[in-house]
Structure 1
Amino acid sequence: MQLSGVITALVTPFNEKEDVDFDSFGKLIEDQLQKGVRGFVPLGSTGEYYAMNAQEKQSVLKFVKEVVGNRATLIAGGNAGSTREVVQNVRAAAELGYEAVLLAPPYYSLPSQPELTAHYQAVLDSAPVELVLYNYPPRVGVEVGFEVMDAFADNPRVIGVKESSGSLARAIDIKTRYGNKYQLSCGSDDVALDFLLWGAGSWICGPANCFPSQCVAIVNAFDAGKIEEAQNIMRKMYQAMSSLETGKFVQKVKYGCELNGISAGPTRMPLLPLSTEEKREFQKVFELATV
């Protein structure tokens, strides 16, 4: 699988009863496709997978696959707290026709690097899927370190890494150490343009839910060699990106969808709604980014 362009880490729209709102979900996906997004990750961090049961996760993966079909790249989120549960998630995704999965280390258990290597190998042995490693130590407490990446550098089914550590130096190290053995995908939204300059070929992007045109325009401008144009777009978006990075990321992204005219509904607890003041502040930077 070739990872390119903006790949949206989809929110999961909920209605006021906190059931999955498939009508809004379909509208969101179609809007994304119309605006040039090249792929989707359902059940990623932005999709609140951790707050959903197995049946709900299955229904989301099935719905996204049916709506998107072959119109865009699809990568299933399969994260969980144990190898056993991750394997179950990955097998379910493969049965629905997903050819690739995005996996961070299991959370809470804090596996060592050899344990994490064994974890990913068990997943690869369980289903015929390609794997995108997901380095997000602020969320899971463990880095997908070079010991793990060395172990899979020559495995053709381990195709890339979504780098969400926030460290540009880490992205540079990955490209310097591995060259084209891993496809590098940006997962640190406020430095996305920097990642592109250092060899990222795609941007797996939560903010694209509410800023699809702007995120696509940055990548398209960069690909066309129009670096100054890409800088100008990112400059307009920077306050919104910074706001997202300060906290309540999912709530703000969902509110941004609402500002775009597509309801994404509430977040599930423990995430609480934005206050009136928080909405007002995010709307200001949203408008600056979309003017």
Structure 2
Amino acid sequence: MTVDWKGVFPAVTTQVAEDMSLDLDATQKVVDALIRDGVTGLIALGTVGENNSLDYDEKVRVLTAIVEVTAGRVPVVTGVSEYDTRRAIRYAQAAEKAGADGLMLLPPMVYVPKPHELAAHFRGVGEAVGLPIMLYNNPPAYRTVITPEVMAMVEDVKTIVAVKESAPDTRRFTDFKNAFGDRYVLFAGLDDVALEGLWLGARGWVSGLTNAFPKESVALVEAVERGDNAKAVEIYRWFMPLLHLDAEHDLVQSIKLAEQVMGRGSERVLPPRMPLIGERRAEVIAMVEQAAATRPDLTIKG
């Protein structure tokens, strides 16, 4: 199985109404605006999409709404973030039925599996669906490391085609390339080391802050693709104060607040999360406003 996934895949937000119900219309507006601004794919119901704050039926409703508004314009890859393999298979099969183009499969939540258990979890989902799968490595958030040993155990699972690398250690991109060549498509998954990942072989970027500044995110990746490293570095340095937010514990609240400041969505989040308050809220607003006031020139010279 092969995929043409590349470019910028924002981890889109799930919009919430004032009464804490799902706002599917607002979610569709957020998604449509991102596509119109040039993103090349979408991650539905990732961490930023508050996957683990939703029940099964809500996840299916959100995904169905996103697939509907996307209407085939870009791939829709949905997060599969569950406590165990049975639940992961159930949602993965529902996502396939709902029209998703792929899955972003996380390790089991809560329990930290041993390598052979993690490989069995990935294999179980991979053999239960026909969709291409991106594995999601994020040890700081989920306490589980997807090691080369694990990747070797699932190398024969045809549906597992990609890895989203969100560990802060960028050496992993080179280690994966040395170990597996082009067997797996690599994606940069941590915003504040995204450029390094792209330089080291990542084909695309799963991004949080793209929700607030999609055009700049797309321009950064396009600069790398055409070899304009000076422009890529210029955009990256401008973006970096905000990109650091993606590595913080309150990234969901910060990204949704950034969306709101930029007129693209609401800062409302689902419990147990709550909107940012006090100095932290003021700090994030000031960062977003500073970025908006100093946007780089995205004109391609020559």
TM range (shorter): over 0.9
Q: What is the match of residue 290 of structure 2? A: 288
Q: TM-score, normalised by structure 2?
A: 0.93
Q: How far has the Cα of 1:263 moved from its partner? A: 2.5
Q: What is the match of residue 146 of structure 2? A: 144
The structure showing larger relative contact order (alpha-carbon pairs under 8 Å, at least 6 residues apart) is: 1
Q: How far has the Cα of 1:273 moved from its partner? A: 1.5
Q: How far has the Cα of 1:152 moved from its partner? A: 2.5
Tell me the amino acid that sits aligned with residue 163 of structure 1: E
Q: TM-score, normalised by structure 1?
A: 0.96
1:78 equivalent among 80, 93, 105: 80
Q: What is the match of residue 137 of structure 2? A: 135
Q: How far has the Cα of 1:247 moved from its partner? A: 3.3
Instruction: Find the aligned partners of 1:55 and 1:131 in 2 and give their Cα distance.
Output: 22
Cα deviation 1:172-223 (Å, max 9, x = unaligned): 2112211111100000110111111101000011111112111111001111
Q: What is the match of residue 92 of structure 2? A: 90
Q: What is the match of residue 222 of structure 1? A: 224
2:253 aligned with 1:251: yes
Among all aligned residue pairs of Structure 1 and Structure 2, give the percentage whose two residues are the same amino acid. Answer: 31
Q: How far has the Cα of 1:155 moved from its partner? A: 3.6
Q: What is the match of residue 298 of structure 2? A: none
Which consecutive residues of structure 2, in runs of 5 or more, have no partner in the other structure? Answer: 295-302
Tell me the amino acid that sits aligned with residue 17 of structure 1: D
Tell me the amino acid that sits aligned with residue 71 of structure 1: R
CA contact (8 A) 2:212 2:264 kept: no
Instruction: Find the aligned partners of 1:93 and 1:182 in 2 and give their Cα distance.
Output: 22
Q: What is the match of residue 197 of structure 1? A: 199
Cα-Cα RMSD:
1.3
CA contact (8 A) 2:84 2:108 kept: yes
Cα deviation 1:81-130 (Å, max 9, x = unaligned): 11110011101001112231011110111111111111111112222121
Q: What is the match of residue 67 of structure 1? A: 69
Moved more, 276-285 or 224-233: 276-285
CA contact (8 A) 2:209 2:242 kept: no
Q: What is the match of residue 104 of structure 1? A: 106
Q: How far has the Cα of 1:272 moved from its partner? A: 1.9
CA contact (8 A) 1:209 1:253 kept: yes
Q: How far has the Cα of 1:154 moved from its partner? A: 4.3
Moved more, 60-69 or 21-30: 21-30
2:7 aligned with 1:25: no
Instruction: Find the aligned partners of 1:21 and 1:117 in 2 and give their Cα distance.
Output: 36
DSSP 3-state at the match of 1:126: coil
DSSP 3-state at the match of 1:75: strand
1:213 equivalent among 212, 215, 218: 215
Tell me the amino acid that sits aligned with residue 79 of structure 1: S
DSSP 3-state at the match of 2:237: helix
Tell me the amino acid that sits aligned with residue 82 of structure 1: D
Tell me the amino acid that sits aligned with residue 120 of structure 2: A
Instruction: Find the aligned partners of 2:46 and 2:139 in 1 and give their Cα distance.
Output: 15
Instruction: Find the aligned partners of 2:233 and 2:23 in 1 and give their Cα distance.
Output: 36
Q: What is the match of residue 46 of structure 1? A: 48
Instruction: Find the aligned partners of 1:270 and 1:75 in 2 and give their Cα distance.
Output: 25
Q: How far has the Cα of 1:68 moved from its partner? A: 0.3
Q: How far has the Cα of 1:168 moved from its partner? A: 0.4
Moved more, 220-229 or 277-286: 277-286
Q: How far has the Cα of 1:277 moved from its partner? A: 2.5
Tell me the amino acid that sits aligned with residue 141 of structure 2: R
Cα deviation 1:206-265 (Å, max 9, x = unaligned): 111112111111001111111010100110111111244233100010011111112234
